Structure 1
Amino acid sequence: MNILIVTQRFYPYNRIASFRINSFAKYFREAGYSVTVVTEGERDEAVNWNGCDVHYIKDPIMTQMQCNKFVRENKKWVPRRALRALETRILWGGPCIWRAKAYKKIEELFQKNNFDIVLSSYGPLAPHVLVMKLLKRGYKFFWIADMRDEMSKHPLNTKLRTYRFAIYERKILAKADLVVSVSKPIIDDFKTMCSHGRFLEVKNGYDYEEYHEVNFQSQFTMGYIGNFYGMAVPGNLFNAFSELIEEGRLPRNSRIKIVGNSLKLDIPDKIASNVVQYEAVPHEEAIRISMTEVDVLLMVHKSGRKGVYSGKLFDYLATNKPILALYDPNDVVAPLLAETKAGFIVDEADKEGIKDMMMKCYRIWKNKEVLPRDWDKIRQYSRRNQIQILLDYLSEVFCRGNN
C-alpha cells in the first residue's frame, strides 16, 4: 500500500513534534509500505530518507527553523516575523503560501500515485486543512488525522484561538477515518465533539537502544533536556534546589544542567553558579547527555492540562537514570512511572514535596544505587512498538475491507 504523510515538521527539524512523524514514516516503511512525505523545509527539494520519498516545500515568508533562530536571538519583530504574525491573525488554516505550494505538490503526487492512506499531523491546522481540500476535490483514500495533543481545549489558547480551532476541529474529527492521539484523556475530550468512536491511542516513545549501564557524576547533577515553555515553569524547582543547598542538605557543588532551553529563566542568585545552561544540540547528542552526564532527569509541568506525557518522558525512559517528574500526581505520568519503576512524581506546586524527592534522588546518587526498572514494561513505549499499534489497526481494517 502507498502512504502519503503531510506534515510541517519532519527531519531534520530538531523537535519532539518531528520525531513523532519521523517514526511514523520510518516504521511504515519498515513494515513494507511505500511512504511519501510532503513537509516544510529550508529549500524546495526531493530527497530519500530511510527509504521514504520526502518532498520539502519552503515557506518563503519564514520557516520553522528561521522562527526558532529569531526566538533564540531575541529578534522579535524583524519584517518576516511581523508578516507571519499578521498572517496568523488573519488566516485560520495556517501559512497560506506554504499551503498553496504544498497542495500543488500533493496534487502532482496524486497524479503519479494511488495513495491508499493519507496521514496528516498536528501543525496545528495546515496539514489537516490540506487533506480536507483533497477530500473536497474528490480524492479517495483512508485518512488518519494525527491530532497528537489537544487543539481547541488547550488551556493556553486565547478565546479567539479556541473559537477558531473548534470550527476546524469538529470538521477534522467528523471527516477522518481514524483519529490518533497520544493519551486516553485527550481522546476522551475529542469524543465529546463527535458521534463516532474511530480513535486510537498511539503514544510518543523512545527510538534508541536501551542503555543499561549506569555512571555517576563526581558531583550530584540533575538534568533538564529541552525548552521550558507554557506550563513548564521551573520556579519551584529552582527554589527547592536553592533551599536544600542553603540548608546544607545538598552539597554546595550540586548542579542542574539545562540543555536546549531558549527562554530567559529567573534563576535565584544563590544558585546562579549551580545552574548551567547549554544551547540546543541534535537529538542524538541530547540522548547521550541524558545517559552519561547527569544523575537525575527532570520533568516540569504545572497541573491543569490533562493527558500530557511530554515527549521527554519517553526519551528519558530507557536511559536507566531516575526520572523526577514535577507533574500532576493524578495524571497519566504517575501510573506510567509506577508501572515502569523508572522514577518519582511530585506536584509541581508542592515545594516541600519537591525537596523530599530531590533528597531521595540525592541518596540514590550518594549510595550509587540503580532503580529496579521494569524493562519489559519500558519496551512497550519504544516508538517501534507504539507505531505497531497503528500498523495492526490498519492491517485489520484493510483485511476486513478486502473480505
Structure 2
Amino acid sequence: MKKALIICYYWPPAGGPGVQRWLKFVKYLIDFDVEPVVYTPENPHYPIQDSSLENEIPKGIEIIKKPILEPYGLAKLFSKESTRQISSGIIKPNAKQSFLQKLMLFVRGNLFVPDARIWWVKPSVNFLSSYLKKNPVDIIITSGPPHSLHLIGLGLKKQTNLPWLADFRDPWTTIGYQKKLRLTNWAAKKHANLEFEVLNKADHILVTSPTTQSDFEKTTSTPISCITNGFDDEDMPKTSLDTTFTLAHIGSLLEDRNPKILWDVLQELVTELPEFSKDLKIELTGRVGTSVIDSIKERDLGDNLSLPGYIGHSEALQKQHSAQLLLLIEVDSQETEAIIPGKLFEYLAARRPILAIGPKHSDIDSILEKSEGGVYFNYQQKQELKKLIQAKYELFKGTGIPSTIGIVDVYSRKNLTKDLAQLIYSI
C-alpha cells in the first residue's frame, strides 16, 4: 500500500468543478492500494460553496487543515462582487472595469505572484516538513490552480526529496485570464520562472488535456501524463426528459463566453419555423453574465430564457439528464484550446447530445468525436450550427431525440483513478 500526501486548495464545502477532481480521486484511491492524506486550508475563501459534496468525503481518511491568510478576505471590505469575480478568474473587459477593479487586478497580478495564496506556502512547508518526519508518505501530490500550492511541493521536494507529482488542472502562464492581470514585466517574468522551476523540479507532471501536455513538453523533459476529468457513475440520477425543446448550459456563462452565433441561429429559427418559439427553452444554470442575458433579449428570445441560478451538484446532474440538448460553450481564443471543461464528461455520461461551440482547434472536438457524444462547431460555422439544431428539433417533434450510445467508460472517475494509482506506483 502506497501513502500519498495530497495538497489541494479546493475541498468540500467548495463548489464548482475545481473541487471534484481530487475529491473523486480520493474517493477511489483506496480501491487501488493508495492511502490518501489530504492537506487543505482551514479557513479558505471559496467563491462558490456546495455543502452536499461533504457527503462524498470517504470516512476514515486523514484530512489535515491549517489556517491560511487570505487577502481576499480584506479585499471584500472594498468590493465583495469584484473580489468574488477576481478570485474566480472572472475579469471584465478593460473598458468595463472601474478604477477600483483595475487597482485590485494590478495588486492581484503584481503583489501576489503566482496568486493570492502565496502566504500559505512557507507556513505549509514548515508544518508539513515536521509532519512528514513523524508520518512518512511515499509521494507528495500538489494540485493547482492556485499554483502557489506547487510551490509547497517545490519546498517539500527540496527538504525531503520525496517523489513529487504536480497536477495542473489548468495551465499556468498560458491560462486565458493571465493577460488580463495587468502584469508588470517583472511579474510576468516571475510567473514564467516559477512555472519553469516547478515543471523541471517535479518528478512527474499531470495535466488534464493533450494540448497542455504538448505545450509543457516544449518547456521540460520531466515526464508528463494526461488524465482528464471525468464523471462518477454513482452520481448519475434517474429522470425523465423535458417536454420542451430545452437547450441547457450548466455552469458559469459570462461575458467572454457569449455565443452570439447561437442566439442568432435561434432567432432565425423562431422566425422560420411556426412552432419553434413555443417549444424552445434556453436554460442557463449557474452565473450568467449581464451581456449574455442582454444578447438573448435583444433577439426577442427573453420569453424562452430560464435562469435557475447556481444550484447544487446533484440538481445540476438532473438537469443534464433531462435536457434535450446540452450546450458547451468556450471562449473563441487560442488560450482556450487546451481547456476541457469538467462538465463535458458529465454531459457524456448523461447521454444527451452535446452541442459545443469554441475555438477552431480544441481538445473538446476530438473527445466528442471519439465518444460520439455530440458535435463541435467553431464560431464561423453558423449555417452548419443552424442545420444541426433544426435537424434535432425535427427529431424532437417526431420520434424524439435519441440518447447517444458511444463508449464513455474510459472517463469514469473509478477508471481514471486506476490510471492515477498506476502512475503513483510508477514514480
TM-score, length basis structure 2: 0.81
Give the Cα separation in 2 of the matches to 1:104 and 1:15: 30
What SS does the aligned partner of 1:99 have? helix
Give the Cα separation in 2 of the matches to 1:331 and 1:319: 22
The match for 1:70 is: 81
The match for 1:401 is: none
The match for 1:3 is: 4
Deviation at 1:176, TM superposition (A): 0.8
Deviation at 1:62, TM superposition (A): 5.0
1:118 pairs with 2:150 = no
Does the 8 Å contact 2:166/2:206 carry over to 1? yes
Deviation at 1:331, TM superposition (A): 2.7
Does the 8 Å contact 1:214/1:321 carry over to 2? no
Q: 1:149 to 1:70 in 2, by over 3 A?
A: same
Letter in 2 for 1:314: F
Structure 1 stretch displaced more, 48-57 or 9-18: 48-57
What SS does the aligned partner of 2:411 have? coil
- Matched-pair identity in %: 21
Give the Cα separation in 1 of the matches to 2:80 and 2:319: 23
Give the Cα separation in 1 of the matches to 2:260 and 2:34: 47
Q: 1:211 to 1:33 in 2, by over 3 A?
A: closer
Instruction: List alignment gaps of at least 5 residues for structure 2.
Output: 46-54, 87-96
Give the Cα separation in 1 of the matches to 2:255 and 2:227: 23
Deviation at 1:262, TM superposition (A): 4.6
Q: 1:300 to 1:147 in 2, by over 3 A?
A: same
Which of 270, 273, 287 is equivalent to 1:261?
Answer: 287
Give the Cα separation in 2 of the matches to 1:325 and 1:72: 30
Which aligned pairs between 1:275-294 and structure 2 lie closer than 5 A? 275-292=305-322, 294=323
Structure 1 stretch displaced more, 117-126 or 198-207: 117-126
Q: What is the root-mean-square deviation of aligned Cα atoms in Å?
A: 3.3
Give the Cα separation in 1 of the matches to 2:359 and 2:56: 42
Structure 1 stretch displaced more, 297-306 or 243-252: 243-252
Give the Cα separation in 1 of the matches to 2:270 and 2:83: 31
The match for 1:86 is: 107
Aligned length: 389
Deviations 1:137-193, CA, capped at 9 Å, x for gaps: x21211001022322223442265653332111111111111011122211110111
Deviation at 1:33, TM superposition (A): 2.1
Letter in 2 for 1:70: E
Deviations 1:316-372, CA, capped at 9 Å, x for gaps: 011121111113454322222222222112113332222222212222322313144
Deviations 1:282-304, CA, capped at 9 Å, x for gaps: 11211111112x21110011252
The match for 1:38 is: 39
Does the 8 Å contact 1:309/1:333 carry over to 2? yes
Which of 295, 312, 330 is equivalent to 2:324?
Answer: 295
Q: 1:87 to 1:152 in 2, by over 3 A?
A: closer
Letter in 2 for 1:56: K
Does the 8 Å contact 2:283/2:307 carry over to 1? yes
Which aligned pairs between 1:346-365 and structure 2 lie closer than 5 A? 346-365=377-396
Deviations 1:122-147, CA, capped at 9 Å, x for gaps: 123211011111223x2121100102
Instruction: List alignment gaps of at least 5 residues for structure 1.
Output: 399-403
Does the 8 Å contact 1:3/1:117 carry over to 2? yes
Give the Cα separation in 1 of the matches to 2:361 and 2:391: 21
Which aligned pairs between 1:361-380 and structure 2 lie closer than 5 A? 361-367=392-398, 368-374=400-406, 377-380=407-410
Greater share of helix: 2
Deviation at 1:229, TM superposition (A): 4.3
What SS does the aligned partner of 1:14 have? coil
Q: 1:74 to 1:355 in 2, by over 3 A?
A: same
Which aligned pairs between 1:295-334 and structure 2 lie closer than 5 A? 295-301=324-330, 302-304=332-334, 305-328=336-359, 330-334=361-365
Give the Cα separation in 1 of the matches to 2:168 and 2:71: 24
Structure 1 stretch displaced more, 283-292 or 20-29: 20-29
The match for 1:219 is: 244
Give the Cα separation in 2 of the matches to 1:259 and 1:335: 26
